[in-house]
Structure 1
Amino acid sequence: MKKIYILPLLAATLFFSCTNELDQNPVSDIGSENFYRDEDDFEQAINGIYSSLQTYPDHQLVLSEIRSDNMYAITNSGIRDHEPVNNFFPTIATNSYIAEVWSKDFEGILRANTVLDRMTDEAVPDENMRNRMIGEARFMRAFFYFDLVRFYGKVPLLDHVVTPEESLEIGRSNVSEIYTLIIADLEDAINKLPESYPAEQRGKVTLWAAKAMLGKVYLTRSGTSYDIEGPGMDSGEYDLALSLFDDIINNGPYAFIDDYDTIFAYDNENNSEIIFDIQYKDGSLGIGATYPGLFVPDNYFEAIGIPFPAGGEYKAPSENLLHSFDDNDIRYNTIFQEGYTDANGNPIADIFIVKFLDTENPGTDRFDWPINFPLIRYTEVLMMKAEAILFGGTGNPSDADEIVNRIRDRANLQPLTAVTTDQLLEEKRREFAGEGTRWHDLVRSGKVLDIMNTWIPEDDVSDKIQAPINQNSIIYPLPSTQITVKEGLYDQNPGYN
């Protein structure tokens, strides 16, 4: 069965430009004039946009999970060593992950803009196909801009291809302006995208994915602003989000899966829980997923006979996350493994995440696994509906209770009565552990400063984290390499140097 596999080199010859360098402005196009001639060319170009998602899970793991109270890094010698992004130091503008996320998101935006600028009726005469391609490009542009807004706040707004020279004159736009483009893109995508695709095209975005994304955008804009230019705007658009979530729940082709473990099974990909995911394949081309290996210690791979390019450290669950699970919660054993025996027969007590790991179906090495990464799950749509109700929407609170208890029942837990926002946030934390949602959820809820400033003193036994944190930590700094592209073009986010 054909998939939309993520190919890291796909379309490199089409779109490769100075934007691939972290010390350059990521906004130019030198696509071949001999390309974009017909439907096949544009199909390849569309796949090139998807390929910018290749490392997206790795970035969410570090900038969302490790930034939060969910995880930290453990060295091979067993020493806890918080990632630089988890230290909350003001000097992290030089961090490679912060630069890579910026670069990859703008790479995707460049590729989407190139498709939209080059699209013509002559090249793609079939109107339905042309509309679908435009819808895909606009969805992906919105997706990457939403990522940028949540991590950096104000960013350059580019709705068309610009030259490198022009890019040096484009400063940062306000968050509200970026959201205007995101919403317009998603609304157009909803009108142009199909409800489904043939099996050989699984992985492409549908109108349902666009509706889910737009609902999340409204939910995020409605979140707490903290009086900064960040993702939350206190906009009160909960009912707009609710109408989209209800449409998906009532009319979409998705279904709640009763067995949590099977949602992530290798032999059950593209199941009814998945609204949008990143499709990966293993093999010698190196087009498998890298993120499962980031959760696991090197010695474990040695013990099971899988090549393990040295990672130096692995991303471990915090004690706080582990202790949040009830003893009866069956999700625990799907998400975590407690201990293993190393290659020398010694018992090792490490606890690590195996939610996306199947040692019976390994890839070629530690960073090559044939498992897709869920970007939007049906359960998240349900929980976002509950969130919209509890945080100010006009829905019935009993609907939120029903949603949360349905998820708890799947986890073998007792029901709750009159679910609170704190209980909802903790339930989502457990349900989506390791999926890159935690920091975004905390920020949106308005509770991130209270929760993190309570957790840090409890967890930071080696006194490595600068605390208490304040509203400046809600978003990241711009990469230092961007600040030096042109003096005065970009101002750094407050609190960073």
Structure 2
Amino acid sequence: FYSTASELENALNGVYHSLTVDGTFGRNLVIELANETDELFYKRTTLTVNPMLFNYDASNTVIAASWRALFDGVNRANYLLANIDKPVMDEKARKVIKGEALFLRSFLYFQLVSYWGDVPLMLTPTVDGNNVNVPRTPSAQIYAQILKDLTEAKDLVNPITAYTNNGKVSKTAVQAMLARVCLKMAGYPLKNTSKYVEARAWADSVITSGLHSLNPDYKQIFINHSADKYDLKECIWEIEFFGNNTGSVLLGARFSNQLAIRNTNADAGYGYAILGATPTLFNLYKQGDTRRDWNIATYGFVSNNSTDTVAKTDIYSRDAGKWRRQYETVRPLDVNWSSTNLPVLRYADVLLMFAEADNEIEGRPS
């Protein structure tokens, strides 16, 4: 394998695929491991042991699945990078593949270090099961490698103008991720405040590129994700999902169904509504902020198996509404899977990162 340009592309697709499984962004890193805050609460009674309930240990299957999936992605990237020079091919295409692989490895390690702190740093492929006791590497070294990979990737990948979708890593995606990583390094636990300057500079490089802008219709951003429409101005990088997991191509996501408005009706779209907003989150929105009533739906269904809706006003009875199943284009709607894409980097994120870094540097709002 890795002997032709096509095989390198296939290997790269395999690295991207590691972001779509249940252990990563198909479910766990969007739901179970992303919502241990005072802004959300678990609305069901099915689970009793789960990170969302603050009741788990290292043997928890969610934790194990995410650890395994993230390192599987790292290993796929390592295999690709170890064989990147093997085939005879166009050198520009080779550089692009290498850049994307470096970005993806750094992104996977960013998840690992964010959740677990010191983790094993492995930059070569795992070729057998003999070397299983790899020591943990200090977080500072992990972050240094992340920055090294991202900085190299920046000059290798294509600009977003080379694509008609934002599922591929582009130069502004790398710059935006550099801003995010530097901002994280400036805060807990490293508290390397010198990184605020770098975070601002990287965010500014995206802003001054002129390639991105805000979508004036907030709700349309998320309708696009469900309807398989691309907005390359607002959304810089998305994790792509496809279909409803029927047939031979199994690339659907579970996060959108889990966060959908509660319903068991096939036509309206099955929704588990496992998370709800707390008053803490609800009250963060100022009066008149239209984002609130899109993110926290103002309606539910008359019954759990209905297409008819009813208004909801009580905070605790309202469900998450960011991604709504009626906008999905893949039919029939599946109980567990959808093709809704997950935004990782939006232009709005870049503006907020710039503002935060600038505020820390200047000591005042910009």
Match status 1:208 vs 2:166: no
Aligned twin of 2:14 = 48
Q: State the AA in 1 paired with 2:79.
A: T
Distance in 1 between the 2:356 and 2:51 partners?
Answer: 27
Deviation at residue 117 of structure 1 after TM alignment = 0.5
Match status 1:276 vs 2:237: yes
Distance 1:329-1:64 versus aligned 2 partners, 3 A rule = farther
More divergent stretch after superposition (316-325 vs 256-265) = 316-325
Native 8 Å contact 1:257 1:263 kept in 2:
yes
Distance in 2 between the 1:148 and 1:163 partners?
Answer: 21
Say which SS state the counterpart of residue 318 (structure 2) adopts. Answer: strand
Native 8 Å contact 2:77 2:104 kept in 1:
yes
Match status 1:314 vs 2:288: no
Aligned twin of 1:323 = 283
Deviation at residue 264 of structure 1 after TM alignment = 1.5
Say which SS state the counterpart of residue 72 (structure 1) adopts. Answer: strand
More divergent stretch after superposition (110-119 vs 319-328) = 319-328
Distance in 2 between the 1:53 and 1:87 partners?
Answer: 24
Deviation at residue 198 of structure 1 after TM alignment = 4.0
Say which SS state the counterpart of residue 337 (structure 1) adopts. Answer: coil
Deviation at residue 332 of structure 1 after TM alignment = 1.8
More divergent stretch after superposition (65-74 vs 171-180) = 65-74
Distance in 1 between the 2:364 and 2:191 partners?
Answer: 24
Distance in 1 between the 2:170 and 2:91 partners?
Answer: 17
Aligned twin of 2:264 = 301
Match status 1:369 vs 2:304: no
Distance in 1 between the 2:286 and 2:301 partners?
Answer: 22
Per-residue Cα deviation, 1:374-413 (whole angstroms, up to 9, x for no partner) = 000100010011111223x24x8342xxxxxxxxxxxxxx
Native 8 Å contact 1:263 1:271 kept in 2:
no
Q: State the AA in 2 paired with 1:276.
A: W
Match status 1:263 vs 2:221: yes
Aligned twin of 1:96 = 61
More divergent stretch after superposition (281-290 vs 271-280) = 281-290
Distance 1:258-1:197 versus aligned 2 partners, 3 A rule = closer
Q: How does 1:300-449 map to 2 (within 5 A)?
A: 300-302=263-265, 304-306=267-269, 314-338=274-298, 339-342=300-303, 343=305, 350-361=317-328, 363=330, 364-391=333-360, 393-394=361-362, 397-399=364-366
Deviation at residue 169 of structure 1 after TM alignment = 3.7
Native 8 Å contact 1:208 1:252 kept in 2:
no
Distance in 1 between the 2:198 and 2:186 partners?
Answer: 10
Native 8 Å contact 1:155 1:173 kept in 2:
yes
Native 8 Å contact 1:73 1:82 kept in 2:
no
Aligned twin of 2:187 = 223
Deviation at residue 329 of structure 1 after TM alignment = 1.2
Deviation at residue 323 of structure 1 after TM alignment = 2.9
Deviation at residue 98 of structure 1 after TM alignment = 1.4
Native 8 Å contact 1:73 1:314 kept in 2:
yes
Distance in 2 between the 1:346 and 1:255 partners?
Answer: 34
Distance 1:167-1:318 versus aligned 2 partners, 3 A rule = farther
More divergent stretch after superposition (275-284 vs 185-194) = 275-284
Say which SS state the counterpart of residue 43 (structure 2) adopts. Answer: strand
Distance 1:307-1:179 versus aligned 2 partners, 3 A rule = closer
Deviation at residue 124 of structure 1 after TM alignment = 4.1
Distance in 2 between the 1:325 and 1:191 partners?
Answer: 39
Deviation at residue 302 of structure 1 after TM alignment = 2.2
Distance in 1 between the 2:356 and 2:82 partners?
Answer: 38
Aligned twin of 2:136 = 172
Deviation at residue 358 of structure 1 after TM alignment = 3.4
Q: State the AA in 1 paired with 2:89.
A: P
Say which SS state the counterpart of residue 62 (structure 1) adopts. Answer: coil
Of 126, 133, 145, the residue aligned with 1:162 is 126
Native 8 Å contact 1:303 1:341 kept in 2:
no
Deviation at residue 361 of structure 1 after TM alignment = 2.5
Per-residue Cα deviation, 1:22-69 (whole angstroms, up to 9, x for no partner) = xxxxxxxxxxxxx11100000011011000111433223335542111
Native 8 Å contact 1:72 1:80 kept in 2:
no
Say which SS state the counterpart of residue 29 (structure 2) adopts. Answer: helix
Native 8 Å contact 1:296 1:315 kept in 2:
no
Q: Percent identity?
A: 25
More divergent stretch after superposition (141-150 vs 344-353) = 344-353
Aligned twin of 2:203 = 245
More divergent stretch after superposition (337-346 vs 244-253) = 337-346
Say which SS state the counterpart of residue 66 (structure 1) adopts. Answer: coil
Distance in 1 between the 2:309 and 2:345 partners?
Answer: 40
Deviation at residue 123 of structure 1 after TM alignment = 0.6
Native 8 Å contact 2:358 2:365 kept in 1:
no
Native 8 Å contact 2:121 2:137 kept in 1:
yes
Native 8 Å contact 2:19 2:239 kept in 1:
yes
RMSD (Å), alpha carbons: 2.6
Distance 1:252-1:367 versus aligned 2 partners, 3 A rule = farther
TM-score in terms of structure 1 length: 0.65
Distance 1:115-1:48 versus aligned 2 partners, 3 A rule = same
Native 8 Å contact 2:166 2:237 kept in 1:
no
Structure with max Cα Rg:
1
Aligned twin of 1:117 = 82
Distance in 1 between the 2:214 and 2:164 partners?
Answer: 24
Q: State the AA in 1 paired with 2:140.
A: S
Distance in 1 between the 2:202 and 2:234 partners?
Answer: 17
Aligned length: 348
Distance in 2 between the 1:166 and 1:209 partners?
Answer: 37
Native 8 Å contact 1:216 1:384 kept in 2:
yes
Deviation at residue 337 of structure 1 after TM alignment = 1.6
Native 8 Å contact 1:113 1:161 kept in 2:
yes
Distance in 2 between the 1:185 and 1:118 partners?
Answer: 17
Distance in 2 between the 1:166 and 1:191 partners?
Answer: 36
* Structure 1 spans left out of the alignment, 5+ residues: 1-34, 226-231, 400-497
